[in-house]
Structure 1
Amino acid sequence: MKRAFFAVCLVVLGAAWAQFTPRNPECIAPAGAGGGWDFTCRSVAQVMQDLRLVPQPIKTTNVTGGGGGVAYANVVTQRSDDANLIVAASPATTVRLAQGQYSRFTERDVRWLGAVAADFGLVAVKADAPWKTMQELVAAWKADPSKIAVGGGSAVGGQDHMKVLLLGRAAGIEPRAIKYVPFDGGGEALTSLLGGFVQVFAGDASELRAQVQSGTVRVLGVMSPRRLGGVYASVPTLKELGYNVEWVVWRGFYVPKNMPPQAYEFWARALREVERSPEWARVREQNALGQFFMAGAEFQVFIDRQVNQFRNLSRELGIIR
């Protein structure tokens, strides 16, 4: 009986997969070019095309503003049944939802599709900065917090700001003394670091690989459970250095809430095909990403829990009441 039931389920899912073919598919990156959401859209889109999962290239559209809020509102109010749209997301999205920063919208106003990799937070400075180690940076930071501006690709209270607050707390720096400068995406924050407008960059590993390879930045610590590979192999974790801070960044997507079921199944299965492919394994290796896959109902439960966890952490850090 069970075997027959599962066979029927497979037939239904297979039929849904076969019934839908995207037309003019699009991925929204809710910030400017060069950041983590932009990377998520472009890299996954390229692998889907390489695997011939989509009949046309997936267009990446950068929709900036509000720490992802402008894109979120647009999807909810203007494109709520668009079958051809996926939107890049990460803990930066769930942090803002937990804090009520997306206006009246909540995590239940979209449908959560899945995640295909884990990125990791890091702390970096320009290659010619006076601090060679995290300990040197922290010593200067504690001596005079007003002289060190930390830039991140999220709004005040967002993901990158929370990384900075957690590091500051671990280092014994008064949160109100921390000078955080928000930018609309990691690309803008990195440009500001290289231009000398901020002294420290709090971002993610996938955002900095090219700059590390070219020697324009120095990464002082990563917020991963263990050391990363590739260009980050010699960089210590913050825990190694005595700062009990980790920040794991899942890379994934949400879709319009009223997307037809057959379209949702198509995109969920496409993500599974991407995650299993050698092409995606190479992308992960090149960008120091970890394995992390979750899709469908399991991912929805994960999102609900994470929003609740971030709401509690935001209260603990004094970001919301």
Structure 2
Amino acid sequence: MKFNSWKWKPIVAALAAVTAMSALSACGEGGNSGGSGSYPSKPIVVVAPSGAGGGWDKTARALTKVLGEAKLVDKTMTVENKPGGGGAVFMAEYATQDKKNPYRLFVSSPPILINNLKKEGNSPYGYKDTTPLAQLTKDYGAIVVRADSRHADIQSLMAELKADPSKVTVAGGSAPGSMDHLITVLPAYKAGIDPKAVKYVSYDGGGEAIAALLGGNADAIGTDISSASEYLKAGKVRVLGITSPERLAGDFKDVPTLKESGIDAEFTIWRGVFGPKEMTDDQKAYWAEKLKALSDSDAWKKELAANAWEPEFKGADDFASFLGEQEKMIQELLTALGMAK
């Protein structure tokens, strides 16, 4: 039988069109991909890798509240708490089980870097096992003493540490090698003092560390400046220096930066939003638009004020570059402490 190819051309074209449409449909809703044009098509979970009431939890709840109430995201958004290991337990689950799931985001801060870099209790997973979506807020570290302390400035504290570090007790609200510890020893390290010689006592949270300071059980503490705000306003503490690049306004306008005091040290306590490692370009573009709109909204500015957070928006590319820079600084500090893996 003679084969007339022209008779088959319309049928072949129709079959090709059906196949292409089926593929697109599979991409759009299949699995966790979200797909082009359909994302998001179901509720979204934002994880706080901690218990309720902490900084991560407050950030996640403020984020979902504003995105929903401002109608920036029309799908239901809920917060899930996943405490354990300062975020390390959650990261082990997320990086292995949710790497293709764009319906599960999370908030984090410097511990995502610290946990991945330190030797003891380290996590094999870090920010490179995620997609950084945006930085939303910033805070800074502070070296704080009692209002009646013998130390009137950071140079006085550093001089005493240099003379005999065993006579100075510094404290923080987290374990050795974690964020408060790094903030506490950062100025000493930058001032040429062996950070391993600094006597650091860890407490279970910043509130307990401040209580230890006020009770005379510590000479100084490292904490975040927003946590010290109410005690500073009440006249109970003196802030010797902050890790910001320049002076802050408002209640902190009279507090010098470490740089002003001759110690070349900065440390930003950022908070940001992350997604799974394997996100599509469409999904990343969706969150780039929504998170920028969130940052610009009046509702978000009210949340910042209510929580004493400083605004600091960085889009995905700038955020990822910043994380790479901060990772190097944290690696340097942990190495000096003998705590790097």
Q: TM-score range by the shorter chain?
A: 0.7 to 0.9
CA distance in 1, matches of 2:207, 2:98: 27
**SS of 1:165 mapped into structure 2:** helix
Q: Which amino acid aligns with 1:157?
A: G
2:106 aligned with 1:87: yes
Going from structure 1 to structure 2, the CA distance change for 1:148 and 1:286 (only over 3 Å counts) comes to farther
TM-score w.r.t. the length of structure 1 is: 0.76
Q: Corresponding residue for 1:114?
A: 134
**SS of 2:312 mapped into structure 1:** coil
Pairwise CA distance, 1:117: 2.7
Q: Which amino acid aligns with 1:70?
A: V
Alignment of 1:46-195 (within 5 A): 46-54=65-73, 56=76, 58-59=78-79, 61=81, 63-65=83-85, 67-99=86-118, 102-127=122-147, 129-183=149-203, 186-187=206-207, 189-190=209-210, 192-194=212-214
CA distance in 2, matches of 1:264, 1:37: 22
Pairwise CA distance, 1:139: 4.1
Alignment of 1:267-282 (within 5 A): 267-282=287-302
Pairwise CA distance, 1:46: 4.0
Pairwise CA distance, 1:227: 0.6
Does structure 2 conserve the Cα–Cα contact (< 8 Å) formed by 1:149 and 1:181? yes
Alignment of 1:221-240 (within 5 A): 221-240=241-260
Q: Corresponding residue for 2:267?
A: 247
Q: Corresponding residue for 2:23?
A: none
Q: Which amino acid aligns with 1:295?
A: G
Going from structure 1 to structure 2, the CA distance change for 1:139 and 1:310 (only over 3 Å counts) comes to closer
Alignment of 1:32-51 (within 5 A): 33-34=53-54, 36-51=55-70
Pairwise CA distance, 1:53: 3.1
Q: Corresponding residue for 1:19?
A: 39
CA distance in 2, matches of 1:184, 1:82: 33
Q: Deviations over 1:49-71 (max 9, x none)?
A: 44233455643626142x33123
Larger-gyration structure (1/2): 2
**SS of 2:124 mapped into structure 1:** coil
How many pairs does the alignment contain?
306
Does structure 2 conserve the Cα–Cα contact (< 8 Å) formed by 1:81 and 1:260? no
**SS of 2:187 mapped into structure 1:** helix
Does structure 2 conserve the Cα–Cα contact (< 8 Å) formed by 1:17 and 1:265? no
TM-score w.r.t. the length of structure 2 is: 0.72
CA distance in 1, matches of 2:233, 2:41: 39
Q: Deviations over 1:32-62 (max 9, x none)?
A: 744x434433443443344233455643626
CA distance in 2, matches of 1:47, 1:22: 18
Does structure 2 conserve the Cα–Cα contact (< 8 Å) formed by 1:229 and 1:288? no
Pairwise CA distance, 1:119: 1.9
Does structure 2 conserve the Cα–Cα contact (< 8 Å) formed by 1:205 and 1:287? no
Q: Which has the higher contact order (CA 8 A, sep 6+)?
A: 1
CA distance in 1, matches of 2:56, 2:205: 8
CA distance in 2, matches of 1:198, 1:82: 45
Alpha-carbon RMSD: 3.6
Going from structure 1 to structure 2, the CA distance change for 1:265 and 1:78 (only over 3 Å counts) comes to same
Pairwise CA distance, 1:124: 1.4
CA distance in 2, matches of 1:240, 1:298: 27
CA distance in 1, matches of 2:220, 2:327: 28
Going from structure 1 to structure 2, the CA distance change for 1:248 and 1:266 (only over 3 Å counts) comes to same
Consecutive unaligned residues in structure 1, runs of 5 or more: 1-11
Q: Which amino acid aligns with 2:79?
A: K
Alignment of 1:187-226 (within 5 A): 187=207, 189-190=209-210, 192-194=212-214, 196-226=216-246
Q: Single out whichever of 268-277 and 292-301 deviates more from structure 2.
A: 292-301
Q: Which amino acid aligns with 2:106?
A: V
CA distance in 2, matches of 1:195, 1:59: 37
Q: Single out whichever of 292-301 and 68-77 deviates more from structure 2.
A: 292-301
CA distance in 1, matches of 2:208, 2:283: 34
Does structure 2 conserve the Cα–Cα contact (< 8 Å) formed by 1:107 and 1:304? no
**SS of 2:88 mapped into structure 1:** helix
Going from structure 1 to structure 2, the CA distance change for 1:28 and 1:167 (only over 3 Å counts) comes to same
Q: Which amino acid aligns with 2:88?
A: G
